[in-house]
Each structure stands twice: as C-alpha cells, then as structure tokens.
Structure 1
Amino acid sequence: MLTKNFTYVAAALTLVGVPAGIAVTGGDMHLSGDVNLSGDVTRGGGLENAIFAGTLACWLALFALGLRRWPRGILILSLCGVFAMRGALLVHSGAVWPVTAALVAVVLAGHLRFAAVTGSVAVVWFALWDATAGQRSADWVLGSLGGEALWLAAVLAGVTAYRNSVRWRHEVAHRIAQDESQREIDARRRRAEERVEIARDLHDVVSHTLAVVGVHLNVALDAFDAEPEEARASMKLAQEVRNRAMTDLKSLVGVLREGEVPALESLEGLADQVRAAGLKVSVTEFGDPADVPAPVATAVYRVVQESLTNTVRHAGATRVVVTLRYSPTRVVVDVQDDGSGGDGSIVDGHGIAGMRERVAALGGALTAGPGKTGFTVRAGIPILAD
C-alpha cells in the first residue's frame, strides 16, 4: 500500500497542511522573548511566524519521503521535530496532527498498535508540557488534549477501515482466482474422462462393426458361386451393419463437436463472486450467444474475468458494467468501472497484455484505458464461418 506516489502525496499535503493548520489554530505566534512595561510577553510578526511554520512543514515533508522504507522511525522523528519547535517556543500548537502522514503510513504498513501507543503517548506528553513549561491555562490544555485525541482516533479508525477494505478486496480476488483454477482442473478432469469414455465407445462401435461385417463378407465369399441368394443376403446384412455403425459414429462425433458455450453461461456466476467483494456488477447481453464457437466464448469469458479481477484488485471501484453484444459475425464485450484505474494505475502488467494476445489469436482486437468514469476494457472478436 505504501507506494512512491503515496510518499510524494504525503510530503505535498504535509508541506501545505502544516502551515495552514498552525495558522488556523493560532500556533504560529512564537515568543519573541521581549517583555513590555506591563510585564506581558510580546509576539512575533506575521512574516516571522510564517517562516517558522514553513520550516516545520519543510522538515516534516522531507521526513515523509522516507515513509515507504521506515514508517515507524519517521513517525518518531517527526514527533521529535514537532516537539523541538514547540520546546523552542517557535510554534504554539500541534501535537499529533502535524504528523498525520506518518501515522497513516504506519497503520497502512500494518503497525496499528504502534501508531496508537505512540500517538497516545505524544498527546499526553504535549498536554503535560503545555500545562507546565508552556504555562497554558487548564481550559486551553483540556481543549487541546481533547482535539488531539479526537483527531488521533479519527485518523486511526479511518485508515484501519480503508486498509481492511483493501485487504478484503484482495482476498476476494484471490479466492476468485483460486476458484477459477479449481474449475480449470475440474474441467480438464472431466474432459479426460469424456475422452476415455468416447474412446471406449469408438472401440466398441468400430471393433463390433468390423467383426460383424467381416463375418458376413466371409459368408458371402464362400456362398458366392454355390448359393448366390445367401451371398446377396450376407452382403445386405453387412451393408445394414455398416449403416448402423455410421449412425453411431456420427452421434459420437456430434458429441465432440457440440456447440455448447458453458463459459458464457457462467458469466452471471462470475459476477456474483465479484458482488461478494462489495461491488455492484451488472451484466447485459444483446443477441443470441447460442452460435458463438467455443474458442470465442472462452476468450470472452477470460476478458470479463480478468477485467473484473483487475477492478477488484486495483481500481477501488464501486460499480462495474459488463455489456456483451452478439451478432452473426462478431462478439463485442465492454467492461466499464467507475474506479481510479483511469489515472494510469492499471497497466499491461495486470493481465491486459494476456487478454490482448488471446483476442488477437482469434483475429480480434482489444483496447484498454481510461473511460468516461473510470477504466474501460473493450474487445471485438470475429466469428468465422465454417
């Protein structure tokens, strides 16, 4: 989950958010060390305040670039940086919220307990410091403590929920892949059993036919001169046996060439599996799939399966629309989601190249890229006439 893009975004948001947050909370007013005639401590100017707030933001943003490799160390280092600025009286607010990016990274890395304990200790520590060395009023300390604690809880809860959702989607996608692998194994086993059964039938039909025909031909040959009528009857019986054998063979060949398309009939079941991951999936078909050859049907099924798997794993989508159009000469399949795949996060390495090769092998073409609302995969496969 911790990618290079995450570290860059975290650094940028820290660079902008920390000065803005300090300005909103009034913590950019540092003590100048000057005391007026009445004994009140004076405050620094606006430019000087902005410089100190920007300095803290720059340091925290720089630390954030290392979150991918050392999330826990960066969290501790960032808290030390905030305390250094607070201890030097350069900024007067902020405990854990300036290090939000580091907290998020630690939770995403799977260290929720570390983030919770470290954040809680930091909140209490800064509250005690404000009440003693910072000489803040009790009301201010309690308000700051409550706000920081609430912020910490919200960040931890939100990031944990997001992490659990992503893990759930990955697990569902993994289960779908496992189920498909098991179906492939079962299908190969069934095909092997069918081939064995057909081999037996072919053996029985052919051997029986040849044996019977051979007997009648021998009878006809022996009786050809002496008893032509018996020879004619034997030839006729041999012809009838041959005709029955041809009918049986045609039936067996018909089984082998049967035009069923179980892959297309399984699309709704595939959609149900993806719906279990929390996505809304709709499958719409136009035309009659009965005449679609098995190789084309298999390719269509694989395109839909891989597209849905990519959506579950990478797009962060909430809805997927699958549309299939059958015509006498062509099958067109569209898979459109509303996720973040349109920003370029889904590339050929996620199986798109494999889909493109499968479609191209049948004379078709596949395109994949950003759509109107997310990521779109579109494939057109011709149906070649026999």
Structure 2
Amino acid sequence: MTSGPSSPPPASPRQAAPRQSTMAARFAAHVPAPDARRPTTARESEEWAADVRRDRRTLLRASAVIAGLYGLGASVQAAYIYAQYLPEWDAVPVMARITGNALAVVVLALGQLLLRVHRAPTLGAVAIRCLIASVACSLVRVASQTVTGVYQHWDASTLRAELISGFVAGVIASLVGVRAMVLVREIRVGARESARRAVDVEHAVHALQQEEVRVRRAVAEGLHSSLQQRLVVIVAGLDAFLRDAPGRTLTEHELEALRAVRDDIDVVREQDVREMSRLLYPDQLEIGVTPAVRQLLRRVPTSIAVRFVVSPGVRELDDPTAGWLSEPERLLAVRVVEEGLSNALRHANPTSLEVGLDRQGDQLVVRVQDDGAGLDPTVVHASGTARLTQRLELVGGRLELTSRPEGGARLEAWLPVASLRG
C-alpha cells in the first residue's frame, strides 16, 4: 500500500513542497468526506452515505477474499502434507479445516465492520483496529480448530504456530483490504476533481463571455451616447454654417464658431475615441505591463503625487521578447491597476498614490495604495472590484482590498504566471 521557456528569470526561489509519498500522507489525503467535514445538505448527506458504503464494501470484500484464499490454500496444503507424511493425521477431514478457517474469515470481517475500520480518521487508528480484528481472527481460528477436531491436544509449539499464522494472515488480508479501499478513494477523489475542474472551466468560459459582452456593451453605449451625440452637434453646427457661408466673407464670429467646431472634434478624438480604445485594449500593453501602467498613471491629475515601483524580478519577467507573461496575464494585471486607481480617485480623494509590481515565486503581485479616506465596502462590492475578484479566482489568483493603518486603502492582487509553473 506504498505507494514553455527554457528557464525562468532569476527571482526568489519558490520552495517546493515535499511530496506526500508515505502511506500515512496518502491515507490522510483521502479520508472519507464525512470524517473531514459534516454534510450540510441533503445531497451531501446522500453522497456521504454512498462513500461510506463503498469504502466498507471494498474493505470487507478485499480482506475476505484474501483471508479466504489463504484459509482454503492452507487447508488443502495441510491435508495433503498430513496424508503424505503424517498418516496418523489423515483422519482429520478437509472440511473441518476449511470450516475453521472460514469462521476465522467471518470473524475478521465482522471485526473490521464492528470496529469501523473504514471510518478510521488516521492511519494509526486503522492499524490498531486491524490488529484487533486480526487477533480476534487468530483466536477464533484456533478455537474452531479445537471444536471441529483438527487439534484435540495442543502442544505449545503448535498452538504458537497456529496463533501466529492466523494473526499474520489476518494482518495481510487487512492490509490488502485497506489498500484497496484507499485506491477506490483515490479514484473517487480524482473523478470528482476532474468533474470540479470541468465545471470550473465551464464557469470560466461563461465568465469570459459575460466580460466580453460587458465590454462590448460599454463600448457600444459610449459610442452611441457620447461620441454620436457630439458628432451630431458638430454636424448640425457645420450645416448651419454652410447654409449661410456661400457668397460672403466670413466674420470674426463665424471664424470663432469654426474654431469651436475644430475644438469639439479634437475633444472627441482625444477623449471619447481614445477612451473607447483604452477600454478595449490599454495603451502600450503589447510592449509590457510596466509601459501600460505608466500610460495609466499619466491620466492621474497632476495634483496627486504618484509613485511607481517595479522590482527587478518583474522587469525581467515583463520583457516582451522573453514571453514570460502572456497577453491575457498582462491585461489582467493592468485591469487591477485600473480598478485601484478608479476606486481611489472616485471615492478616496487621495493626495498620493503608490503602484507596485513585484514577483513572489510564480506569481505577479500588483499593488495599488492611497492615502485617502478609505472605501465603503458596500460601494466596492457593487463596483468592478467584485468582477475582478472573480476573474482572478478563475485563473487561480486572488484579490484583497484592505485598509491601511496610516489611512487610505490598499488593493493587492496575486496573479499566477502560467509559464513559471512546472
């Protein structure tokens, strides 16, 4: 029952967790669900009961089969040896020997059932219960051999040999039964994990589809409500001017109106069109996270002090020629910075902001903190922070929004980098 890129950029090495290869670790990893947690719903209760029945059935069947085969083989072998070499023992019928061993097998199975070996929470508890059942099996085997006349007069050596052989047979059968039970648990856990991953993938695809729809809707609404209305006003102004313009010299007022139209077009180009473009794809993202974040920080009002800190590990990780960070990973990191800046500027009224990019093992850490008034949790929950949290969880990351002791808030995200995971 025993058990992408060639090399990452230099950074703090991730400590590899020791492999759980011992029997105890494997058993602990597959303790039945009811012993690890209490069912809280009717469905969980049914699943729990089914797991217990399956474990019990597997343990008893495997142990009984091994012990039964041992008993049958030992009975036939003893009958043959005695018939060939000890004629005085030939009078003992084979069925008497088989009956005694069969009773021992039944006692072993009953002992495992009554001691609830299949429900034992640790390997130590399993071992103790199996030893008790094996002792009972050995004692009943000797007693049944006396009752059925296999041995009428015991001598010390024969009694000791029969007790030890019965005990060893019980232990071996129990080990095989426990091993089979653990294998069934591993298969069950693996099947459920595969099913859970399939559901997670389905949810991830659904979330991405929803996010795409949300972005497309935001762009469509922006183009329709803001850009279109501005262009309608500009076109109306030009039409009015063109109706009066032919055949005369432009006045200073009309020239000023044309300049106003030009300014409106410039505003549309600089604000509306650029904003829609940034919503779809942040500036400089194809170059890396660091340039894209710098572009974001240029939009912060100059009255707010901004500090941008990038660790050496991130500079090497963010090298666009190395390909460590995928485009979706870069985009998600920039979205975290966008969300942090948006929350701070809308709700906190800060005087300073700090954005940091760091690396911890195989994760990119993105941090945005301010010295403002903090954030109302109810407001944050209803904002894009909740959506961003879900997106990070789908890729194995996490997002935390906390208050700073010195005032303000900190938005911190841990984003796994797929190329660094072995």
Q: TM-score, normalised by structure 1?
A: 0.39
